[in-house]
Each structure stands twice: as C-alpha cells, then as structure tokens.
C-alpha cells in the first residue's frame, strides 16, 4: 500500500472525559484504502518540545467525508498538545502505516481492549461485522467514568464492559469477564496495555484459538527506516511499524 | 539556472544533498514519498560482515530537539546485501553508497572487498564512529592510530570512493580527519551521533536498553557545524557535513563552513520529503543571493 504524507484539517473535536478525546481529521482528497489496525503518524506542531511525530491508531474512517477518526488519551506532551488543537487547524499526517488485523469470515470473534488500547477496535469490529462474523467486544476500564464511546460499537455486535471498581458492567479485568468461560470463540483480537494483552494471549492459547495483538512500541519514523520500534519475535527483531503493529501471538516470544 | 553539481574527488553528485546512513533504510522506504533521483546520493543502512540482530528494545528516546538511538547496527550482513538488496536498488538514478561497519578490521576489509565488486555502488562510507556496538565501531574512530589502521587496511581492497565517517566523541576531530586522509580516504563525513543518555526519573530506569546511545537532531547542529568547520580547514579532501540539518538554511550553513556535500539524517523521520525540499531550498537561496555555482559557497563563511 502506498504511503502518503498529507495535511489534514481538524473538523471535529469531541471531549469524552478529562483524559480521552476524539479528533475527526479531514483530507483534501479521497482517502486511500485503510485497513483495521493501521495507524497514522502525526506531527505535533503546536508544541516545540515535541520533536518526533506521534503514532496513533485509526479509530474509524468515513470515506464519504474523507475523515479519519483518532481516539486519543492525554498521556504525554504530544497527546496533550493534540488535545489543544482548534477546529480548522492543520495536521501533517503520514499514513496509512503498518499491517492490519486479519479478517475471518462467518466466525465467532472476541475483541478485548483496555484503556486507550480500544482505539483500533471500533474500525476492526466494523470489518468483522461486514465479513459476517459474530462480534463480541469487551472494553476494560478503571471505572464507569472511562467507559466512553460505547454506542459506536453497537451497530457491529455486542459490547460488554468490565470496570476495576465494579461501577459498570462486570467487576475486574476484561480477561476475567464471565463470557470468556461461558461461551466459545474462534478468534481473538486485542489492543491495550501489555499485561492485559498477555492475559488475552494466555486465554487464547488455553482455548486453542488464534490471537492477534497490536503493539505500541515507541518509534521515530513509522515506516521502517529507523529500526527503533522492534519487537523480539521467533524470527528475530521485527519493526512494529512495518511488520506490525499487529502480530499473531504464535510469532511472538510471549 | 544554477549549478548544484559538486564533486567528491571523482564522484559526481548532481546536488550536494545526500541522506545519512541509518535514517533512510535502503531508499525503498522513501520511494512512496520522493523521487530518489532528485538526490545527490543516498547512503544505505550500516552493513556488517555478518548478520546482526542489533540491541534489544527500547532503542529510542526523544530528547529536547532531538533523539537518542541505540539500534546497534541491525542488519542482515553483507552477503544478504549483495544478493537480495543490491539487485533491488542498483538502478536508482543517484549515487548509492553503502555504510560499512565492523567489530574487527578483518570484517571491515572483507565487507568492503565484497562491495567493491558491485558495479553500481560507486563508494562506501566507512563507519568508524558507531557508538552503539560493544566492540569496534566508535573505538576505531577515537584514536588516530586505530583510525589509520582500519582505513589503511580497507584502502588496500577498496578501489572506489572511500568516505570515512568520523566520531564527534573525541577531543580533536581534525587530527583524526588528517590521520584518515593520510591513509588514502577520499572524503570524510561528520558527525556521527554524540554519545548520550536518558533516565526516566519516575521509574529510575534508563530509557535505552543499552543505557547510553547516540544523540542526533537539531540539538547537535552547533557542535556538528563547529567540527565541520575545523575539519575543513585541516584537510584537503572533501568534507561531507551532517548533524541536525532540518532545512535548506541549515544545509547552507554547513556548506559555508566548508562542506562540499551534506547529509540529511534524523529529519527524514519527521518529514520523509525533507531531503528534496532541501534541494529546492538551496536553489532558492542561490537565486536570492545571485550565486550561480554551489561550489562558490563551499567554505565561503565571511569571517571578516
């Protein structure tokens, strides 16, 4: 897939809570094909202390309006500055980057996201739904305050929540949700904190099902030039930006 | 029309803009963004005698106006380069040079000798300055005696353009430059990264798996510019300047300090089109200053 560098315009900013926000960014021309799990690398021009671009998962794509949606959590200088962008601001974007989740057909699929790791799962659930899969998404958050943006998943399947304090859905981590024991799945997909993804990997291995995880190693370029974002796989160091971010756990040394 | 053509001894560059090793992959990674034939040259990823896995993750830490890296020369070795990569890149309409690194002198020599046989590779950049490998690398570039030894040995087997990449992690870079010139280097490029370090105060852990790494980006530019100026006065062979060049203005500064050509490194990560923008920017500068030949700007710093 050809990679592009383009200026996008911020057309919508939605504050989900004090930590999370969604940016709708619009291109001047029709978007190329974008696959679920791919990411963009955006330049943060409104903060001089941010030197490198920031890689962000693609949350959703609206081809009719040439809009890409980014689900962002304020963590460091880069994401905090992105949260200060104003409608009409320009954003330099390198995209579409990375590989994608694989899309089975007519299967029972389980998606597990934790924290801002939910970002790529919405677009993935859309693809899975369109391919005739049954989609169950579990989002794991700290409390009901962080259980944001759930409605968007509803058209594509069942959405379940776990909270660490029990304020919404089942109490505990997403990998402790009762649906994991009460039902069976054919494929699992996950994105979020590494300990959570490792728990999803362990669950999937115990059930003998395929599991794909999306890694978020720090990177400088995003397109395979710097070799900074490697992960140690069974076939040696692989760039997360080009050979990932999505890996099947059978290829990782987890 | 302005003349942008420069010569590194017999090696003709259509313009003085090259891309720095380790920041430009094998050129292919940038083919979606730019036309590689618009560049004076590209220097592909550091190549060693044998396959190297490089250092463990994490290998990168952002710094104010720059970054630290500790990649550690991850590459598949020179045989893989000759068989798999060379056929894919040999027809680029630009000078494709290979950065050659090693842990012991025999490795440098064998690697250089194999690349000498590749018709479409007009030169190598001998890396005696990588700060991220345990043995060899920078150690060769931090004393005149060891720098002379490796350049002398490679010169015997390598018949095309031999550029030597110098380390800034020395007290007197001009003396190292003179030492490699004395052993037959055709040009010198400088600077490689400055040895640096970063710690996460919250976790008390180093941000790089190797604790220390190489600093690059605009934060090193004043140091690089000073060293290029010092070396350009000390040697007769052409000097290739690099270190934190982000735009055409930076590139012109290096040329005024005495660089015949320049390399774009870290900036490629932020803007994959920056190298060709810099070619255009140099042209605009020349038109604005009524300079018809880029060669008239080399070393043209006005000290009066």
- Tens-digit pLDDT profile for residues A138-155: 999 999 999 988 999 999
What does the pLDDT average to over A25-38? Answer: 98
Q: In chain B, whose CA is at the least distance from the CA of A239?
A: B57
Q: Which fold has domain A108-214?
A: Rossmann fold (3.40.50)
**CB spacing of A226 vs B269 below 8 angstroms:** yes
Q: Which tops the pLDDT comparison, B136 or A99?
A: A99
Please tell me which of the candidates B29, B74, B270 has its beta carbon nearest to residue A237: B74
Give residue-wise pLDDT tens across range B158-200: 999 999 999 999 999 999 999 999 999 999 999 999 999 999 9
- Catalogue the active-site residues of B: 130
Give residue-wise pLDDT tens across range B40-49: 999 999 999 9
pLDDT-derived band at B135 (thresholds 50, 70, 90) equals low
CATH 2.10.240.10 for domain A215-254, yes or no, is yes
Q: What is the predicted pLDDT for the residue at A94?
A: 98
pLDDT averaged over chain B? 96
b/e sequence B59-71, b meaning 16+ C-beta within 10 Å: bbbbbebbbbbbb
Beta-sheet strand order (sheet of A90-97): A54-57, A39-42, A90-97, A4-15, A20-26, A67-73, A60-62
Q: What is the DSSP letter of B174?
A: H
Q: Do domains A4-97 and A108-214 have the same CATH topology?
A: no
What does the pLDDT average to over A170-192? Answer: 97
- A231: chain B residues, CB-CB within 8 Å: 57
- Does A212 have pLDDT greater than 70? yes
Q: Which of A121, A117, A86 is closest to A10 using CA atoms? A: A86
Domain residue limits, chain B: 6-297
Domain residue limits, chain A: 4-97, 108-214, 215-254
pLDDT-derived band at B139 (thresholds 50, 70, 90) equals confident
Q: Which of B270, B210, B198 is closest to B57 using CA atoms? A: B210
What does the pLDDT average to over B227-250? Answer: 98
CA–CA dist A184, A109 (Å, integer)? 9
Output the six-digit token pair for B303.
Answer: 């000290």
Q: Which fold has domain A4-97?
A: Elongation Factor Tu (Ef-tu); domain 3 (2.40.30)
What does the pLDDT average to over B277-286? Answer: 98
Q: Which of A47, A227, A236, A244 to mutate to test the interface with B (most CBs of B within 10 A)?
A: A227
Give residue-wise pLDDT tens across range B70-90: 999 999 999 999 999 999 999
**CB spacing of A230 vs B57 below 8 angstroms:** yes
CA–CA dist B4, B11 (Å, integer)? 14
Output the six-digit token pair for B222.
Answer: 């004043």
Among A85-94, A113-122, B69-78, name the one with the lowest average pLDDT. A113-122
- Does B134 have pLDDT greater than 80? no
Partners of residue B263 on adjacent β-strands: B18
* Packed helices B144-157 and B173-182: angle between N→C axes, nearest 10 degrees: 30
Please tell me which of the candidates B57, B64, B271 has its beta carbon nearest to residue A231: B57
| B247 marked among binding-site residues | no
CB distance from A225 to chain B under 8 Å? Answer: yes
- B54: chain A residues, CB-CB within 8 Å: 227, 230, 237
What does the pLDDT average to over B128-133? Answer: 82
Output the six-digit token pair for A50.
Answer: 């941010």
CB distance from A75 to chain B under 8 Å? Answer: no
- Does B132 have pLDDT greater than 80? no
**CB spacing of B66 vs A228 below 8 angstroms:** no
Give residue-wise pLDDT tens across range B201-213: 999 999 999 999 9
In A87-169, DSSP assigns E strands to 90-97, 108-114, 134-141, 158-163
What does the pLDDT average to over B217-239? Answer: 98
| B244 marked among binding-site residues | yes
Q: How far is CA B155 from CA B109, B111, B116, B135, in A?
A: 9, 12, 11, 21
This model of the complex carries an ipTM of 0.95
pLDDT-derived band at B130 (thresholds 50, 70, 90) equals confident
Partners of residue A252 on adjacent β-strands: A233
pLDDT-derived band at B51 (thresholds 50, 70, 90) equals very high
Dihedral sign, Cα of residue A56, residue A58, residue A60, residue A65: positive
- Which CATH number among 3.40.50.10900, 3.40.50.1220, 3.10.580.10, 3.20.20.70 corresponds to the domain B6-297? 3.20.20.70
Q: Which of B115, B191, B199, B183 is closest to B151 using CA atoms? A: B183
- B residues 20-59 closer than 8 Å to A (CB): 22-25, 29-30, 32-33, 45, 53-54, 56-59
């Amino acid at each position: 897939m050809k990679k592009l560098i383009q200026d996008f315009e911020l057309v919508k900013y939605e504050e989900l809570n004090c930590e999370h926000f969604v940016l709708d960014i619009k291109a001047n021309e029709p978007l190329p094909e974008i696959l679920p799990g791919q990411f963009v690398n955006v330049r943060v021009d409104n903060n001089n202390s941010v030197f490198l671009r920031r890689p962000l998962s693609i949350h959703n794509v609206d081809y009719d309006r040439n809009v890409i949606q980014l689900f962002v959590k304020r963590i460091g200088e880069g994401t905090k500055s992105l949260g200060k962008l104003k409608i009409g601001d320009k954003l330099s974007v390198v995209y579409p980057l990375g590989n994608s989740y694989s899309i089975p057909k007519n299967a029972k699929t389980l998606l597990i996201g934790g924290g801002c790791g939910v970002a790529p799962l919405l677009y993935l659930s859309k693809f899975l739904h369109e391919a005739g899969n049954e989609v169950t998404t579990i989002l794991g958050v700290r409390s009901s305050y962080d259980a944001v943006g759930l409605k968007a998943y509803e058209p594509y399947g069942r959405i379940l929540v776990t909270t660490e304090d029990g304020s919404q859905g089942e109490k505990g981590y997403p990998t402790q949700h009762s649906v994991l024991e009460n039902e069976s799945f054919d494929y699992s997909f996950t994105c979020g904190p590494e300990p959570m993804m490792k728990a999803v990997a362990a669950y999937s291995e115990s059930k003998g099902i395929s599991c794909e995880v999306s890694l978020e190693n720090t990177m400088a370029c995003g397109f395979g030039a710097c070799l900074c974002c490697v992960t140690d796989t069974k076939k040696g160091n692989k760039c997360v930006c080009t050979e990932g971010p999505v890996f099947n756990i059978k290829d990782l040394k987890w | 029309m302005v003349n942008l053509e420069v010569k590194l001894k017999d090696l003709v560059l259509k313009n003085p803009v090259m891309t720095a090793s380790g920041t430009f992959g094998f050129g292919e990674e940038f083919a979606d963004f730019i036309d590689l034939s618009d560049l004076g040259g590209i220097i592909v990823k550091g190549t060693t005698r044998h396959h190297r896995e490089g250092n463990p993750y994490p290998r990168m830490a952002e710094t104010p106006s720059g970054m630290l890296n500790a990649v550690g020369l991850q590459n598949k070795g020179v045989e893989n380069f000759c068989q798999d990569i060379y056929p894919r890149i040999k027809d680029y309409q630009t000078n494709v040079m290979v950065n050659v690194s090693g842990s012991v002198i025999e490795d440098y020599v064998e690697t250089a000798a194999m690349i000498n046989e590749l018709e479409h590779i007009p030169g190598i950049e001998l890396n005696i300055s990588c700060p991220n490998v345990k043995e060899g690398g920078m150690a060769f570039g931090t004393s005149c005696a060891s720098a002379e030894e490796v350049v002398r040995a490679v010169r015997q087997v390598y018949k095309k353009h031999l550029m030597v990449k110098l380390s800034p992690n020395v007290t007197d870079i001009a003396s190292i430059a003179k030492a490699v010139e004395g052993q037959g280097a055709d040009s010198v490029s400088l600077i490689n990264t400055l040895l640096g370090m970063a710690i996460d105060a919250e976790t008390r852990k180093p941000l790089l798996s190797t604790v220390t790494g190489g600093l690059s980006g605009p934060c090193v530019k004043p140091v690089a510019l000073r060293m290029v100026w010092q070396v350009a006065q000390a040697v007769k062979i052409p000097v290739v300047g690099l270190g934190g060049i982000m735009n055409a203005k930076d590139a012109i500064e290096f040329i005024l300090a005495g660089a015949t050509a320049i390399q774009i490194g870290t900036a490629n990560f932020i803007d994959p089109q920056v190298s060709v923008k810099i070619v255009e920017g140099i042209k605009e500068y020349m038109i604005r200053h009524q300079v018809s030949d880029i060669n008239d700007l080399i070393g043209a710093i006005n000290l009066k």
